[in-house]
Chain A
């Protein structure tokens, strides 16, 4: 098994409660990768492409995983996903849609745009911990990211 514990996880989420609970779920599952939080779509793209507040960042240091909420301020999650998939620098980063919505159009649209997976945030926190565990196991531990 190959791990990439030093690589960051980009969490794109505007709800502070969800940010806190997601971080907690990762810790509960012993997934210790640093979690970078972007609170809107624009901030997420700045991080990925080294713009704005993140202009000093080395963009070749790509995150191991992007957890992307769809309902976001400034730039919608679907648009963020589209731009990630359009840019060569970010095209291969695994993106998991992390949302409360079960609406079909989100699933269909995000898969069409190249989302790797879709996880619905359950209300039961224990269920959520379980989901994050599965997520981490697969995308961070099992699924080796392609070489840069």
Chain B
């Protein structure tokens, strides 16, 4: 738990207390002096002391002290006392000026000294006390009283010093009545009390202040007083003993005064300078810290507050004004004021949460809610507060920040919507895809049914045409002439041709429809078997065949067999007009892949028509020259493409052809 000292600085109050205390002490001291003198006079123990304090002077001192002490609480009494003191002193002055005896001097005590005017106080004493009485009476004109007090202080100080330095000798009295030393002291104390009445003038505050300047002033004044007195005394003693004459005495005192005062001023000046420097540094550190805080709060863009819970005062940083549009003083100095800025729907929740946080012992309180900006807009915010507590655990201070979440919330909402939209589109696409797949599947099924019926229904009539043509040749040979037999042979050849076309088309469509297998396929073996079959079918042909060893690729064995058979049958067919026919099957490495090729030295073709090669029913040679359906290479092309590979052909007329294919990634 964090305990924070709420340092309430009341230095001014402390100064005031000290000043009043000093004023009261001075008045009491003067009163005590007066009372002691009075008591001694009444008791007759004062003896023969012609220049001592007279009874009326002591009475006046007591009256003025009483007037000053009762000035604040009992104004009537204070005035009465001051008026009596004034009357006594004025009458005494009248006696002096008019040279009459009004009989007031020995009213209280008979003066045994029998000096010029027995029992009468000195004229200057009467003036000083009269003026002090006037000062005490002038409560509504305090400045006038203070001027009087200051003047009286100077006069009485002079008298005190005169006694101390021997300018006035108590023992030498008798020729004239002078102000007595105790009277001078009492008057001085009364002057101080009058000056400091009602907390004194502004300049006296410095004398009592706890500040460095106050301390400095007090020390300097006491040092200056001490030094001046000491040097004066030394000079007087020096002159009295004959060590110093007037000129050298002045020289010594001025020099000593200068040296000591200058030294003191320099010493205290240095201390003041040091204090000032450290103050500047502290100030700079404070400003840097302040600036850091201000910049940090600008960086976070949080509205930050410091809330004195004891006095209910909340101070906000500038963001509150910039972001939320409330003047800082208007942003809610108390919790209730801030709640007004909270969205009505969240208000109760926030208030309850905050109350619970204050009650509990958590240090941190977090709450998300909505606020209303000055312009009426609504913000989502996160409030985070650090609560400080005293030793008893009650919250005394809270430092908090409002982080704006509006943008984050909006982004989240956008993201959420985008996700929903994305899911909806994915679902849409999935549905579209499913429908397409269904359509494709049904189209495939139709195609399959079509192929099936093509295979069945188109071939059946061909079989009949062929079968009965053959039957005609066999059964009715006698009735047919050569032309008739030739016609029947042509009918049968055309029938075969059509059957081949139908088979080729079926194969082409099957290549596209069937699922691919991916296994190792030995193309060397397939090539060897195919060549063996071709040799059996055409035993008369001499073909030089070379097949590379162990050409193994990854792919569909049935489809790759169709590829090899087609390419080799083509090579076999187009070399049929060569005396020394050559067919070569091999493999060669290309830059990134390897390709399998079937090369022959047959009829070849013009490369400018190469693009026609792989279309169904496209032929580059007349059927009379080389029979064929024109479907084989289209089928090969489709199989290679399905394997992810490419098929290409290079040739020139009369110089053979090479068909090469790659197998894509699976080769």
Contacts and interface: CB of A to CB of B under 8 A. Distances in A.
Contacts of A102: 455, 503, 506
B456 A123 contact: no
A17 B464 contact: yes
B455 A21 contact: no
Q: Which among A71, A103, A123, A128 has the greatest number of chain B C-beta atoms within 10 A?
A: A123
A123 B499 contact: yes
B466 interface: yes
Contact of A125 (B451, B461, B467): B467
A126 B470 contact: yes
B616 interface: no
Contacts of A24: 467, 471
B464 A71 contact: no
Interface string B465-500: 011111100000000000000000000100110110
Contacts of B470: 125-126
Contacts of A20: 467
A103 B449 CA distance: 10
A103 B451 contact: yes
A126 B460 CA distance: 15
A99 B456 contact: yes
Q: Which among B455, B462, B463, B499 has the greatest number of chain A C-beta atoms within 10 A?
A: B463
Nearest to A16: B464
Interface string A1-41: 00000000000000101101100100000000000000000
A17 B452 contact: no
Contacts of A128: 463, 467
B451 A124 contact: no
A17 B455 contact: no
B459 interface: yes
Interface string A96-135: 0001111110000000000000000111111010000000
A124 B498 CA distance: 11
A87 B625 CA distance: 57
Contact of B459 (A21, A100, A104, A125): A100
Contacts of B461: 17
A88 B219 CA distance: 138
Given A24-B471, A123-B495, A18 B463 contact: yes
B129 to A, nearest CB: 144
B466 A124 contact: yes
B471 A123 contact: no
A121 B463 contact: yes
B464 A21 contact: yes
Contacts, number: 61
B452 A101 contact: yes
A21 B470 CA distance: 10
Classify the secondary structure of B's interface with A: helix
Contacts of A71: 456
B455 A100 contact: yes
Nearest to B500: A123
A123 B468 contact: no
Given A17-B467, A21-B467, A102-B506, A123 B462 contact: yes
B460 A17 contact: yes
- The number of chain B residues touching the other chain, given as a range, is 20 to 34
A103 B467 contact: no
Contact of B463 (A101, A104, A123): A123
Contact of B466 (A15, A101, A123): A123
A123 B452 CA distance: 16
A43 B333 CA distance: 106
A33 to B, nearest CB: 20
Contacts of A101: 452, 455-456
Contacts of B452: 101, 103
Interface in A31-65: none
Nearest to B498: A123
Contacts of A18: 460, 463-464
Nearest to A69: B456
Nearest to B514: A104
Contacts of B492: 124
Contacts of B464: 15, 17-18, 21
A37 to B, nearest CB: 16
Contact of B496 (A100, A104, A121, A123): A123
A17 B468 contact: yes
A132 B548 CA distance: 40
Contacts of B467: 17, 20-21, 24, 125, 128
Interface string A70-99: 010000000000000000000000000001
A104 B466 CA distance: 25
Contacts of B514: 104
B460 A100 contact: yes
Interface in B435-464: 448, 451-452, 455-456, 459-464
B463 A100 contact: yes
A103 B509 CA distance: 12
A38 B347 CA distance: 94
A122 B499 CA distance: 9
Contacts of A99: 456
A100 B466 contact: no
Contacts of A126: 470
A132 B422 CA distance: 65
Contacts of A104: 514
A126 B493 CA distance: 13
A24 B468 CA distance: 10
Contacts of A100: 455-456, 459-460, 463
Contacts of B498: 123
22 contacts: A15-B460, A17-B460, A17-B463, A17-B467, A18-B460, A21-B464, A21-B471, A71-B456, A99-B456, A101-B455, A103-B451, A103-B455, A121-B463, A123-B462, A123-B463, A123-B466, A123-B496, A123-B499, A124-B496, A125-B463, A125-B467, A126-B470
Given A18-B460, A102-B506, A123-B462, 15 more contacts: A17-B464, A17-B467, A21-B467, A21-B471, A103-B452, A121-B459, A123-B463, A123-B498, A123-B499, A124-B466, A124-B492, A125-B466, A125-B469, A125-B471, A126-B470
List 4 A-B pairs, minimum CB-CB distance, nearest first: A17-B464, A123-B499, A21-B467, A125-B467
